[in-house]
Amino acid sequence: MKLFSQTLLDELTAKASASPRGRANHNIHASAADPVQRFFIVAQRDTYFRPHRHLTKSELALVIRGHFDVLTFDELGRVLARYAVGADGDAIAYETPQGTWHTLVPGAAGGAFLEIKEGPYDPATATEFAAWAPAEGAADVPQFLRWLRAAQPGDSPPDAT
């Protein structure tokens, strides 16, 4: 039996605060070969999840602390939809269909979620990052993250370098 406590989330929050990426995760699955990948992710407010898609698999996420905005995009990066998902909101979870460009934007205090994906994990095919969004660590990420925080359906991304 595996039990997961609030203390685990507190520890992940401390790790995320100390991480240059502003996030930390805890794998529940034993290995990348497992048929179901399950993990907790804690993200600080300024974490940047580069817009991406999973061509062959969907993903399910249940927000267990705080809230996130989930944005979906078309091929050129135009915002198709913006969804508020949070532990205390009407929507507490989301499932992203395979092939859907998407990102998460953490709320003011960051947040935590449980993510479940089909395995096994193959780094060569797991994620395709959007060419119209800056790479993690790029100089224009803070500007792009500000755009993501305000972007509404119909908005197009600023030029990424």
DSSP per residue, the chain:
-----HHHHHHHHHHHHHSTTSEEEEE-SSSTTSSEEEEEEEE-TT-----EE-SS--EEEEEEEEEEEEEEE-TT--EEEEEEEETTSS--EEEEPTT-EEEEEEEEEEEEEEEEEES---TTTS-EE-TTSPPTT-TTHHHHHHHHHH--TT--PPPP-
pLDDT category of residue 126 using cuts at 50, 70 and 90: confident
pLDDT digits (tens, 9 = 90+) for 6-20: 999 999 999 999 999
pLDDT digits (tens, 9 = 90+) for 18-62: 999 999 999 999 999 999 999 999 999 999 999 999 998 999 999
| pLDDT score, position 122 | 86
**pTM of this prediction?**
0.93
Residue 160 has pLDDT above 60, yes or no: no
pLDDT category of residue 123 using cuts at 50, 70 and 90: confident
pLDDT category of residue 5 using cuts at 50, 70 and 90: very high
Residue 161 has pLDDT above 70, yes or no: no
pLDDT digits (tens, 9 = 90+) for 64-114: 999 999 999 999 999 999 999 998 889 999 999 999 999 999 998 889 999
